[in-house]
Structure 1
């Protein structure tokens, strides 16, 4: 497949993919029942779960999208990472003990107990849509990088990597997912350090010159501190990060399912904090990569011209004249081609042998997120959809077969979503926007059930309807004709999850208050 790469790099990449598949084969010996597939019998140590959660966070959206974002703008998106400790504190204090005491493998069973079957199903649909968006953006990110290295189509790259991921996830279950993510977390972190070293070693003037250029161009800025929610200010990203991380730690099946694999609540809580304290400095590495790449190509502007011409060709089409391509390329800003810069640097500047290691790191970034998403989606579909509405009396063998089939199906759907994303401008932007849309309603309903003991079923239904309408309006108001500016939302897209969550919680709380339901839960 990768004949454009030197043989040593092919061997390294092939060895890595084979090793991941063999991990699945190894753990398949234990995977004889559904509980082992979804909970690993609750015997995974907290440090391994923490590294696994960290690896899920550090997807190829981070590995490729963050350097591209930092190259094209600044470090504003790093505020997302700064919001994690507060969300983690709430999760450890309230959510981890709650899930461990309930014993339910699904994060959404509680919603049925609280408000009825509709609430559980609604949250599951939101979760599955979020997972498809996550897996799709990750598939797209890895294909974008490997296409630059191999020349093969993005569709073919997604298919090959997707098959490998499906094999080890289906065979190994959650235990294989966690232990491969432990390895992948280490590989991708070392890959980031290696990339920084290679950029700095190729940079005339070294680190001082990078800092100088970064300061001159405001590359290290965390964004405006003005109370402005229409642009990507510090506060907008902080609020977005807090709510999305609260959703991740509090009710995303990817993370909740890991709490059950721990040997004790204490180990589960330790895994959350370990993830946070590793992810904070690790994510900073990728912003440093973006700033370093910007400085490098600022010194060597001619080296970035091929990327600018490539983007111009994608916009104008293959039939465009060289004059038209050059004219459009001259107008492009770093934000227009940020996601393509790191793959371009890899192709042109990373030595033979090291490319294989870097590609393996990118593969690990993608595989960890996709495999956990497939396993979690299959678990939720099995527990919350199939066994709830279709067939309740499955034996363990039938349940395990269903989990295997569902894992394959969600893997294929994730690939399809990735193919649909081909051509988007920024991996990170599209992922943040889609996750905010799909997660907002789910998180708001969950917080209403947990924090307001007086809210009943009718209050939750009203709140959810209003919340969905608000989310639709804020997401699609750009389609409203310019003749009606007063009907448009001026909020930044990252505020969708904030507004959606608060709308559902506050409307439900106010409805419960008006109905005089103090002391009554129905």
Structure 2
């Protein structure tokens, strides 16, 4: 396909995104003008009014972005079908979020997860988690910006860094117009088209690859003595380090992280969150299966494998699909990554606005000013992420490292709601777990212990559990927040 057609596809993709984003944004802004100027949570939480289909789709797409598409394509190149555990981990995550952590957050009527830490443990843990969680989510944002750059680069031939600038501008527009309402309703429009495009692409590629379809791809790996690449269990080492490690990292981080919980907080009520699970889990879970198959084919396809792990998978779509399907598929891929980008830039901006600006400087912050400060935060954070996206590490490896930073927060919230709570215990647990994570990341500790392949989530999880339990058993504590509330009510 020549460069003119490439640019024609890019223009078609951009036209689709701009029409959907601006059209829905304008509609929502028109409705907003008719409502109260100080509606609580109107920009950051959609006025806590989203229905279950919007919540379900938004939960699914918030954690279905660059890592699920380009991260899994890249990881499949290296470790094969065991990469599907990244998708399975997010199904488990959505179950946990929709049946527990999301419900707890909605019940407490908070705006941010650090605010929940304040209710349980007080101001010091809230400030600590605000800073680290905002940084962690911003790290994810840089990976989403990288994914936007890969999409634009694949279509146009531009460098990934320049593609990230174009995609990042779209992502900023996505969220800055109407906040969480914009994210939710645009997601609903895009989701159906995304799955139609992916299924059609899967069929077309199966007919075009020079191995006799997907069975032929499997035969090539078997002939090469790489049968483990076809198994979702891989090798015992891969299953333990990547498979189980990814499930632990994803669930203990994202189930209490701001960018996933924020759509749950925007739901009408707890019943809406529970109902949303039945849409969110299958929409997210099936996606990885398609992507892993395409990644396996890309690694052995002579037409694209010279491009390497980051670009070979995306290049397959350009090589085997007709122009109309390329435009449809990349428009929906871009929509998925834009959704995650939007959620990942809204989350730290919300944390800054609520947990820093409002908490310390403007306790009586009006909705209009809250929206303004959040929008400024969105623009600044997006610009920084776009700048960093041009030179980033492998996506899934980086994201699992980022997840480990929030692991102690998961256990502190669990214990603090249902068992015991202590500000000293929480502060100590956070400091120890983060110190262990730093040592594991930036020193030779793992190599000295002979466990260099063990991901950060394991030491973060073990240190979090041990320190929090010991501290809660040996220091002065209060009953868990929900236990205390039940006791008072009784």
With the shorter chain as reference, the TM-score category is 0.7 to 0.9
Separation in structure 1 between the aligned mates of residue 430 and residue 320 of structure 2, nearest angstrom: 52
Aligned to 2:55: 49
Q: How far is 1:416 from its partner?
A: 2.4
Contact 2:187 2:339 in 1 (8 A): yes
Shift, 1:92, TM fit: 3.7
Matches of 2:304 and 2:290, distance apart in 1: 22
Which residue matches 2:275?
270
1:429 and 2:397 correspond: yes
Alignment coverage as a number of residue pairs: 471
Matches within 5 A, 1:58-457: 58-204=64-210, 205-216=212-223, 217-218=226-227, 219-224=229-234, 226=236, 231-234=237-240, 236-249=242-255, 251-294=256-299, 297=301, 301=302, 303-304=303-304, 306-307=306-307, 337-421=308-392, 424=393, 426-436=394-404, 438-453=405-420, 455-457=421-423
- Cα distance in 2 for residues equivalent to 1:284 and 1:469: 36
Tell me how far apart the structure 1 counterparts of residues 235 and 159 of structure 2 sit (CA, whole Å).
42
Residue 319 of structure 1 aligns with which residue?
none
Alpha-carbon contact 1:147-1:153 (below 8 Å) kept: yes
Q: Is the 8 A contact 2:197 2:325 kept in 1?
A: no
Distance 1:513 1:7 in 2: 63
Distance (Å, rounded) in 2 between the aligned partners of 1:89 and 1:149: 35
TM-score by length of 1: 0.82
TM-score relative to the length of structure 2: 0.87
Relative to 1, partners in 2 of residues 1:517 and 1:253: Cα closer, same or farther, differing over 3 Å? Answer: closer
The alignment's C-alpha RMSD in Å is 2.8
Cα distance 1:246–1:469, how it changes in 2: closer, same or farther (>3 A)? closer
Aligned-residue offset at 1:512: 2.4
Q: Deviation digits for residues 68-112 of structure 1, max 9, x if unmatched?
A: 322332111212333445544443443233222211121221211
Aligned mates of 1:367, 1:469 — CA distance in 2? 33
- Which 4+ stretches in 1 moved above 6 angstroms? none
Alpha-carbon spacing, 1:493–1:517, altered in 2? closer, same or farther (3 Å): same
Q: Helix, strand or coil: the match of 1:29?
A: helix
SS of equivalent residue, structure 2 residue 153? helix
1:512 and 1:404 mapped to 2: Cα distance?
A: 40
User: Displacement of 1:129 after TM fit?
Assistant: 1.4
Aligned match of 1:492 in 441, 453, 457?
A: 453
Instruction: Trace 1:462-473 onto structure 2 (pairs within 5 A).
Output: 462-473=428-439
Can you give the 5+ residue segments of structure 2 that lack an aligned partner in the other structure?
Answer: 485-490
- Aligned counterparts of 1:13 and 1:85: Cα–Cα separation in 2: 29
**Which whole-Å CA distance do the structure 2 matches of 1:202 and 1:265 have between them?**
47
CA contact (8 A) 2:65 2:337 kept: yes
Contact 2:81 2:234 in 1 (8 A): no
**1:384 CA displacement:** 0.8
Distance 1:51 1:343, change over 3 A: same
